[in-house]
Chains A and B, each alone.
Chain A
Amino acid sequence: MITFIIRRLIATIFLLIVVSMIVYAIFFLIPRLAGQNTYQLATQYVGRNPNRSAVLAIEQKLGLNAPLYLQYGRFLKAIVFGTHYNSGTSTTYCPPPCFGYSFKSQQPVWPQMVSDIPVTLSLAIGAAILWLVGGVAIGVLSALRRGTFFDRFSMGIALLGVSLPIFFTGLILLELFSYKWPIFPNVQFVPLTQNPLLWARNLVLPWICLAFLYAALYARLTRAGMLETMSEDYIRTARAKGLVERKVIFKHGLRAALTPIVTIFGMDIGLLLGGAIITEYTFSLHGLGLFTIEAVQNQDLPEILGVTMLAAFFIVIANLVVDILYAVVDPRVRT
């Protein structure tokens, strides 16, 4: 088991390096292949009305003239250890993880992202717990009461949940529960450390909105998984032992049905940023999602690069966690 984890960790580090190469290629190599020279690349950093000396200074500062492998090396080094930008006259320090300077604010990208992370994390973790517990519970009940009204009703709702886009359910929720019946008025982010109650109350609607989509999917997956496992031979064996039905269902049935859910859950957590973008936008929560939208609107390449790297990092880590969790739940994988 320990060697398994170590092997996975090493593989993950390699994966992260490959990811950084691809991101680097997208942001620095492809513009060049498309015919942009380093001068034009540097121009983007200068802002409006660039003059030649300022552009050359930036070119020097960012080292855009250096050979590509050297630039990639610096890019990687900046992310891991931070870097000093030397423009000839002055030196500025960009602390790790350094994704460069924002075009717009002329500040390092990372500190700007850091303040947005708790918002997205609060949204994501709350929604994930909600959809995992809710989706699995509904799925199990549906499977056990297959063909009943409950089954049909919840699967119908699930179909609705999968079909409805977040910005639609989000606006409906806001209209109903924030304006018409103001149970959750003034949805805005309050840090958990500042006021836990208000933190939770203000996040209820975004949680429900984001979780609805995923819960629907998980309910259907769990239902299908449970129906399959409950007809397995080992379930008959468990009954033949004289186990009470509750144990047969949860200890033997759900345990096996949950394994694929764990995999999908890990992947979904990694990919959650996509869902968070729309939810944050709908509820005007300033998290990484809104940060991304603004970065794209401003064509702020370093900011987009920062978000991309962070998202890729999350997905890779989620993959690692899934692999390890999978080995924990399924002994056949442990080799």
Chain B
Amino acid sequence: MPETLLEVRDLRIQFPTGDGLVKAVDGVSFSLDRGATLGIVGESGSGKSVTSLGIMGLHQGTNAQISGNIRLDGEELVGAPSSRVRELRGSKMAMIFQDPLSALHPYYTVGAQIAEAYLVHNEVGKKVARKHAVDMLGRVGIPQPAARVDDYPHQFSGGMRQRAMIAMALSCDPELLIADEPTTALDVTVQAQILDLIWDLQQEYHSAVIIITHDLGVVAELSDDILVMYAGRMAEYGKAEDVFDRPGHPYTWGLLASMPRIDEARLERLIPIKGTPPSLINVPSGCPFHPRCRYAGLTNGRSQAEVPSLREVEPGHLVACHLTGDQRRIARAEQALGDIEAPAVPTTQGDV
């Protein structure tokens, strides 16, 4: 069995619309080992959700155009017959969604929906599937699962609904679990529980996990690797420690500075990233981040003219930025000194 479970190469997903071609995902590559965790981070519209839908083959049925490679356990998914991708969906790769209330069908019991997921891929009777559903609900920490299995989603609390979603996704023991903003719609107190649960179940099932989020705090705890996306492109990709300790892309610096922290005194306000994410129809020329980047002026116009390619700033740590190593060090130092414009970038090492 190969060590690498998922291999994505130069993935591009585009939607033709009346206003032009939307390049939702534009040349994304990464790989994921069995049992490992990848965090994909970015603002709304950065292409992180479309990437995951593309892996699951859920872009099908829309008019999306997809190119590149997605290899799951050596099997190419781009261009594979939709019936084959459907077979893999739910069995070998599963997904949990952002808002569990709208992602669960309001007219079927939670148990029936979990059992349905199990029945699709297993030749068993309804009784066995139901028993499996009770079992799964128990595993994800729903109290009295035998009684709650016949409840409808509206009778569950938000956290319990997300647990039920996780039970549904894991019902066929998938090798790859994609969690698309699994905690965004939940209370802060419940968020940590759900992340813990995903972590525990990952250990138990040895699934590889992709966590998609706009919250660096979420991936910090769980991820082995981190992929930062901006405007459908890769901005930074590397080991979680490298990306957190020595972030190379000004966009990543911005994300870190806009993240609330409780392990540091609140000396300064949180720093929002100025501006809004770009339109994916008219992506800015050159580096898509340059209109919002404080350091774009240092590159002698290259940021405006040239699309930056991914460069290895240290082994296994890729950054798509035109700043030279020296410029980057100076810019970071300025931030670390806490100048008026860009203060309080976290400088502490270790877990964030």
Binding site for B on A (CB under 8 A): 232-234, 236-245, 252, 255-256, 259, 329-332
Contact = CB atoms under 8 A, between A and B. Distances in A.
Contact of A252 (B56, B88, B105, B165): B105
Interface string B87-117: 1111100110101001111110100000011
Given A256-B106, A329-B107, A331-B152, A240 B99 contact: no
B107 A242 contact: no
Contact of A240 (B95, B102, B107, B109): B95
B97 A237 contact: yes
Q: Which of B87, B94, B105, B109 has the most CB of A within 10 A?
A: B105
Given A233-B97, A332-B154, A239 B103 contact: no
B106 A241 contact: no
A244 B102 CA distance: 21
Interface of B: 56, 58, 61, 86-91, 94-95, 97, 99, 102-107, 109, 116-117, 120-121, 152, 154, 165, 168-169
Contacts of B58: 236, 239-240
Contact of A237 (B88, B105, B109, B152): B105
A256 B105 contact: yes
A83 to B, nearest CB: 48
Contacts of A256: 105-107
Contacts of A252: 105
B152 A240 contact: no
30 contacts: A233-B97, A234-B104, A234-B106, A236-B58, A237-B97, A237-B105, A237-B165, A237-B168, A240-B56, A240-B89, A240-B94, A240-B95, A241-B89, A241-B90, A241-B117, A241-B120, A242-B86, A242-B88, A242-B89, A242-B91, A243-B90, A243-B120, A244-B86, A252-B105, A255-B107, A329-B107, A330-B106, A330-B107, A331-B107, A331-B154
Nearest to B95: A240
A245 B58 CA distance: 12
Given A237-B97, A332-B154, A242 B120 contact: yes
Contacts of B121: 242
Provide the main secondary structure of the chain A interface: helix
Contacts, number: 69
B277 to A, nearest CB: 22
Contacts of B109: 331
Contacts of B86: 242-244
Contact of B103 (A234, A242, A332): A234
B103 A236 contact: yes
A241 B116 contact: yes
A255 B116 CA distance: 15
A242 B102 contact: no
A332 B120 contact: no
A330 B152 CA distance: 10
Nearest to A235: B105
Contact of A243 (B56, B99, B116): B116
Nearest to B121: A242
A237 B207 CA distance: 19
Nearest to B99: A233
B94 A331 contact: no
B146 to A, nearest CB: 19
Nearest to B165: A237
A236 B91 CA distance: 16
Contacts of A245: 61
A123 B58 CA distance: 46
A237 B161 CA distance: 13
Contacts of A244: 86
Contacts of B120: 241-243
Contacts of B95: 240
Contacts of A259: 107
A55 B103 CA distance: 72
Given A236-B58, A240-B56, A332 B152 contact: yes
B224 to A, nearest CB: 24
B105 A238 contact: yes
Nearest to A330: B107
